[in-house]
Amino acid sequence: MDYTTIVAATASELAPLQYIAPYSGCAIGEEWMESGEDVLIIYDDLTKHAAAYRTLSLLLKRPPGREAFPGDVFYLHSRLLERAARLSDKLGGGSLTALPIIETQAGDVSAYIPTNVISITDGQIYLETEMFNSGFRPAVNAGLSVSRVGGAAQIKAMKKIAGPIRIELAQFRELAAFSQFSSDLDPETKAQLAQGERIREILKQDQYNPMPVENEVMIIYAATKKYLIDIELDQILEFEKELFEYVDTKYPEIPEAIRTSGEMSAEIEEKLVKAIEEIKEEFTK
């Protein structure tokens, strides 16, 4: 908390204070940005902010529009989020990154405020209550989450091996829904479901437990190349742990090469396959 400033307007505060709070926080962030610092500002959440603005507008007798919001509600959030910037070295080199949070009603991302904010931002991470309650955490819905930055933010090794994941997860969700109504599945469908379950399993992550990118590359490679298909589902996370420990001990050059170069050469890939097959023997006896 030494580097954190909280501007709070709780539910018990008056609507004008709830309305002005995000702008106050942004002004504080801009001060640090203009001093050459890198700032992250989190707006929690803009749904309540829009509701406070709606209350003010109705009290001022402005004409209501869709969902009783005033016509300039888009401008309300665009002028706030567009204050996020990266300054040139000439202007001090500071930055302000905005992370707005939006609450959806019954998972409806097509509502007025969510669609407004989605159209402004550089993508979104959609967290699903149903996935969270089923034990899949972080509960990111890959189908509704979008990155407009895309592979530009990934290292080359990740870009090379992670491509099929999004499509396979989307296909898995469709097949999983379909399979509930059918007890007789063909082998190909069963294989797709098994592959999807294993990809979902490796994407689980404990709270406050970030994973180094080289470890991400190794386990995603094992999943996308279907080395996990004959390992029991409840052993996947144990396999992941054992793989990282085994590679660190026997093949330390693999994570080192991925970490330093950002790429996976043919030689490193060959060693990784060998390591996966060696540790896999313990799980398929």
DSSP 3-state of 10: coil
Both tokens of 241, joined, read 């742990």
Are the C-beta atoms of 178 and 158 separated by less than 8 Å? no
Strand-pairing partners, residue 147, are 123
DSSP H stretches of helix in 134-162: 156-161
DSSP H stretches of helix in the chain: 15-33, 46-59, 73-81, 112-120, 129-133, 156-161, 163-179, 187-202, 213-224, 236-250, 253-261, 266-280
CA angle 63, 69, 75 (to 5 degrees): 100
Residues marked as catalytic:
148
Using CA atoms, how far apart are residues 226 and 217, in angstroms rounded to an integer? 14
Are the C-beta atoms of 121 and 81 separated by less than 8 Å? yes
Residue keyed to tokens 């004008």: 16
